Amino acid sequence: MESKRQQKFAGVLQEELATIFQREGAEYLPNTLVTITKVRVSPDLAVAKVYLSFLNTNETSISIATVNSHAGEIRYKLGARIRHQVRVVPSLTFFLDDTNIYVEHMDKIFDKISRERKEQPDSEDESE
């Protein structure tokens, strides 16, 4: 469980990274909207895991690899923004947030179950 300090720091990182991606994200991923869905920070605040979601792209694995290849540059830009608030700028690792993919998958399963129930005749009606 994250401490209040970790949660506050993660919130600051999420805000600042969102601003960086909003203003300069087109340099890394043109025509792609990047959303920072969650940031997890280690107890010593030295490592941050950043979870991203992408819109307007079919190649999420390439997108996450591209962002990870620019992690040092993004960390530098983040450091310039938060240098007066922290002692050490954390190292950044980016991951794909697949929550939306999971939700879509579950929706398809529930739709399939719903259609199957509608197609089956009620067994109670036949016994009467």
Domain boundaries in the chain?
4-98
CA 68 to each of CA 21, 34, 57, 77: distance values in angstroms, whole numbers, following the listed order: 13, 13, 16, 14
Q: What is the pLDDT of residue 90?
A: 95
Options 3.30.300.20, 3.30.9.10, 3.10.20.740, 3.40.50.970; CATH of 4-98: 3.30.300.20
Tens-place pLDDT, residues 6-18: 999 999 999 999 9
Instruction: Give residue 17's Cα distance to chain centre.
Output: 12
- pLDDT tens digits for 61-109? 899 999 999 999 999 999 999 989 888 899 999 999 887 778 888 888 9
pTM value? 0.77
To which H or E segment does residue 42 belong? Answer: none
Element housing 120 (H / E): none
For the residues 32-61, what does the mean pLDDT come to?
A: 90
